[in-house]
Structure 1
Amino acid sequence: MLSSPVKIDSWKQRKIRWDEIDRYMHGGRDFIDDGALTSAIGANRAPDPARIRDIIAKSLAIETLAIDEAAALINVTDPDLLAEMEAAAGQIKRHVYDNRIVTFAPLYLSNGCVNNCRYCGFRRENRSIRRVTLSMEEVRRETEVLCGRIGHKRLIVVYGEHPVSDIDYMVDSIAAIYDVSVPVRRGAGQIRRVNVNAAPLCIQDLERLKTVGIGTFQVFQETYHHATYARIHPADTIKGNYQWRLYCMHRAFEAGVDDFGIGALFGLADWRFEVLGLLAHAHELERAVGIGPHTISFPRLEPAENTPFLQDARLRVADADFRKAVTVLRLAVPYTGMILTARESADTRRALMPLGITQIDASSRIGVGAYADGTADHVQDNRQQFVLGDTRSLDAVIRELAQNGTITSFCTAGYRCGRTGKRIMDLLRTGREGRFCKLNAVLTFREWLDDFASPETAAAAQAVIEQEIEAIGREQPERVETFMNYYRRTVAGERDLYF
């Protein structure tokens, strides 16, 4: 880490560029109206069942809901109506994203941070955390485990906000990840797509990330509630600037990054407000840049090393409320991908996946350097940000999904075929992207099974492979001949064939 406070202060002063905030605001105000969102929750209490069913029908037509419509769904308490909402959520997911779950792994590359967020294990005043920034050789070793031993094809790389892990380090580390190739049973293990979770960046830095070939760029607002945001993010930190964070996706689009992910950390403010804040953010992106978020994430607060803020029971989002939040988000932004991470327990993830989840992580390790370090406590060690809830292996998770009739996809073709931004949004809204996804899911699943699966998982997956091939023949007869040619070549050991 840089030890000089003078150097760090100088770096911090250069980070926020006010011209890259003001250009997007209207009359000096941002697009989150706390009063309006709070009022919407109160104004839509005890909604009429007929209205709720009309709102569900709008969601099924893959139309983004209005704030008042989502607020009405939040206020539903009738068990039968809730069951209808949940059934619709699952139906929307299958229509837009088909019968598949995309898997990824988080790769934490640094945990140094200049911020001091009250809820975060990485906050700068936490002396219990062992600060680590991986060297390029260590980045390669972590990647070798992920793509050579476990079989991941897609990563989300995570950086602390600190000079040592700024844009130069990001670009170099992503290039190092893409450079890794490891022999496996039949072919070579490689990471085909690196998504990024990082602090807000300026347009110039985002352009550099675009050049190195990233997938989705994620920045979570943490909380959309202005007063809460100010209370937990000290004003003398970079993260204390609410609008610099809020408008990062506007800058990303201007920089040419057209796949972006948003999220909120559930447990900082009223979960109902956060759901509406996420929807308001989707509305603003649709208005300002013509496309909404590619993904929405909704992590819940989890315990962290030496972080007493998290002991306040009032911050917890109850399981029933969390279930409703996931359902409402799926209905409110029906085209978006929805990410449920290993913060949650295996039981919670099993319960929520039928409600419209499209992406999960597995074999996750969030200590910096923990994949290559076989001796680490993977539930909690002093290099990680919070405690994991689901530490099952990728093989075990895939086996369970297969037993439930769900195919696991390792596809990254959309990024390389230009199906990003507005193009993929149009395909998602019409359900056509799911047709490509089915083809590529089968091919990449076949790859993974042949290269990495245990005998038990391979046996459980065979019925799913056969089910999906049969569906392709029924639903896409015009592509069957080409698909079966690709499939036979994949079985013979050829890799990375896609539509």
Structure 2
Amino acid sequence: MSFDSRSLPGFIDEEKIESVIAATAKPDAVRVREILAKAREAKGLDAEETATLLQLDNEELDAELFATAKKVKQTIYGNRLVLFAPLYITNECYNRCAYCGFNATNSDLKRRTLSEDEIRAEVEVLERLGHKRLLLVYGEHPRLDADWMARTIQVVYDTVSEKSGEIRRVNINCAPQTVDGFRKLHDVGIGTYQCFQETYHKATYDKAHLGGPKKDYLWRLYAMHRAMEAGIDDVGMGPLLGLYDYRFEILALMQHAADLEKHFGVGPHTISFPRLEPALNADMAFNPPHPLTDSQFKRMVAVLRLAVPYTGLILSTRENAAMRRELLELGVSQISAGSRTYPGAYSDPSYDRPDVQQFCVGDSRSLDEVIAELVSLGYLPSWCTACYRLGRTGEHFMELAKKGFIQEFCHPNALLTFNEYLHDYASESTREAGRKLIEKEAAGCPENRRELVASRLQRIDGGERDLYI
């Protein structure tokens, strides 16, 4: 079956979702605890179970939910936390999205598309900070096609700076492509393809997307299918929270994941859940139709961790530092740090630029400041890319993850990449605290890995780089 057709039937069953939400509107404590008991087995949740937990309104049950999410996250991921940065390549776009500062009708936005030299300059800045994983972000414009994007990706991979400066994994967030277009991106070596449906509720989608190719709901809905048909193993998806009822969005997201599993044997590699943030000349971004309270947001993240226990959960710098800190415990496994949201931002000393950025950033701390806090909280920062370079992706990754693979491989590799960062980029105070953490974590490695990890840490101390298991 090809997913390039624009006349596919769709698979989001809105009536069923609304029915499940209505049926679970007043969760029973006994039923909630039954669901939490199942969730502790880390086998996922169905729609009814997920909806039940999303609709909790009881502090005692919330506390039990949060404790369960924390336990499941710790069991699967340990204290490891992956870091990355977004790199905006262009803010040119000819879509008319009512919530976005890049809206084609926003005449106050200063448009810019980076040249290859400007991309190199941005990458060098990020490499000098210690980043190894980037998410390239593109608008949608007729002349900025898959061939052009492939060239920009290659520029990023080819840019190498001093010390251990190199980008080892490029993920991309771009407009839906044809299968042929996705193959071009796959062939140049992208990691995860990320695309958000924004809202799965069709009537809301139509109101929020007023023009441009993004107005085609089904073309966007099947973007992940085309990407996977083109050979891209890892895809990342999510809703833009605030456009419609978050309970509906999460259940629709699960239907999306289920349809990918039906056709390709595996669902999304990552899920994101950005909340609407203010954006230049975008009234809907300042006044979300369906805003989430912080307590609803925290509950949603915890429920997601239980519903899809082996799927990476990504938290951006849209949220402030305090909220990010809380959500790390409840299920988040990847975060961006030191983010800037417009083209050329990392080379721009006056980075707070509403006239060019996509949205307002809630956490503006530097990468080193974020890492220092993570270490103080006992988290192990990671820039590991071994899985992607060794072919441990897609369905293969999920199979291994369910057998304890993350602790067996990802944790040791996190130690190696963190040791690189401490040697080459960390401030003195972060380096001192980080070395104590590495010593403690290395001593706690599984016995069959301990000697190997110690040996490779020593090799990094001696000047070798990019070692992994």
Out of 282-291 and 135-144, give the one that drifted further.
282-291
- The structure 2 residue matched to 1:274, chosen from 246, 249, 266, is 249
Out of 307-316 and 113-122, give the one that drifted further.
307-316
Report if aligned partners of 1:98, 1:435 keep a CA contact under 8 Å in 2: no
Question: Which residues of 2 match residues 157-168 of structure 1 at below 5 A?
Answer: 157-168=136-147
Question: Which residues of 2 match residues 73-472 of structure 1 at below 5 A?
Answer: 73-148=53-128, 150-184=129-163, 188-234=164-210, 236-312=211-287, 314-374=289-349, 376=350, 378-472=351-445
Relative to structure 1, the CA distance from residue 415 to residue 19 in structure 2 (aligned partners, 3 Å threshold; closer, same or farther) is closer
How big is the shift at 1:259? Answer: 0.4
How big is the shift at 1:432? Answer: 1.8
C-alpha RMSD over aligned residues: 1.4
Please give the alpha-carbon distance, in whole angstroms, between the structure 2 residues aligned to 1:427 and 1:56: 24
How big is the shift at 1:270? Answer: 0.7
Residue of structure 2 in register with 1:5 after alignment: none
Report if aligned partners of 1:101, 1:359 keep a CA contact under 8 Å in 2: yes
Please give the alpha-carbon distance, in whole angstroms, between the structure 2 residues aligned to 1:165 and 1:108: 13
Helix, strand or coil: the match of 2:148? helix
**5+ residue gaps in structure 1?**
1-16
Out of 56-65 and 410-419, give the one that drifted further.
56-65
How big is the shift at 1:46? Answer: 2.2
Report if aligned partners of 2:386, 2:468 keep a CA contact under 8 Å in 1: yes
Residue of structure 2 in register with 1:9 after alignment: none
- The structure 1 residue matched to 2:450, chosen from 453, 463, 480, is 480
How big is the shift at 1:208? Answer: 0.9
- Give TM-score, length-normalised by structure 1: 0.91
How big is the shift at 1:212? Answer: 0.6
Please give the alpha-carbon distance, in whole angstroms, between the structure 1 residues aligned to 2:33 and 2:188: 46
Please give the alpha-carbon distance, in whole angstroms, between the structure 2 residues aligned to 1:449 and 1:330: 30
How big is the shift at 1:90? Answer: 1.5
Q: How many residues align?
A: 468
Residue of structure 2 in register with 1:4 after alignment: none
Aligned-partner residue type, residue 137 of structure 1: D
How big is the shift at 1:141? Answer: 0.3
1:287-325, Cα deviation, whole Å (9 max, x unpaired) = 221101110000000001121222326432111111111
Aligned-partner residue type, residue 172 of structure 1: R
Report if aligned partners of 1:380, 1:388 keep a CA contact under 8 Å in 2: no
Out of 318-327 and 43-52, give the one that drifted further.
43-52
How big is the shift at 1:159? Answer: 0.3
How big is the shift at 1:371? Answer: 0.5
Residue of structure 2 in register with 1:20 after alignment: 5
Helix, strand or coil: the match of 2:107? coil
1:143-180, Cα deviation, whole Å (9 max, x unpaired) = 000012x1100000000000232212210111000111
Please give the alpha-carbon distance, in whole angstroms, between the structure 1 residues aligned to 2:82 and 2:372: 14
How big is the shift at 1:110? Answer: 0.4
Helix, strand or coil: the match of 2:63? helix
Report if aligned partners of 1:47, 1:76 keep a CA contact under 8 Å in 2: yes
- Give TM-score, length-normalised by structure 2: 0.97
How big is the shift at 1:19? Answer: 4.2
Aligned-partner residue type, residue 448 of structure 1: Y
Relative to structure 1, the CA distance from residue 345 to residue 379 in structure 2 (aligned partners, 3 Å threshold; closer, same or farther) is farther
Please give the alpha-carbon distance, in whole angstroms, between the structure 1 residues aligned to 2:379 and 2:134: 21
Please give the alpha-carbon distance, in whole angstroms, between the structure 2 residues aligned to 1:319 and 1:99: 24
Please give the alpha-carbon distance, in whole angstroms, between the structure 1 residues aligned to 2:141 and 2:66: 42
How big is the shift at 1:18? Answer: 7.6
Report if aligned partners of 1:97, 1:431 keep a CA contact under 8 Å in 2: no
Aligned-partner residue type, residue 418 of structure 1: G
The percent of aligned pairs where both chains have the same amino acid is 48
**5+ residue gaps in structure 2?**
none
Aligned-partner residue type, residue 97 of structure 2: C
How big is the shift at 1:21? Answer: 4.5
Aligned-partner residue type, residue 220 of structure 2: R
Helix, strand or coil: the match of 1:482? helix
How big is the shift at 1:462? Answer: 2.3
How big is the shift at 1:64? Answer: 2.7
How big is the shift at 1:97? Answer: 1.8
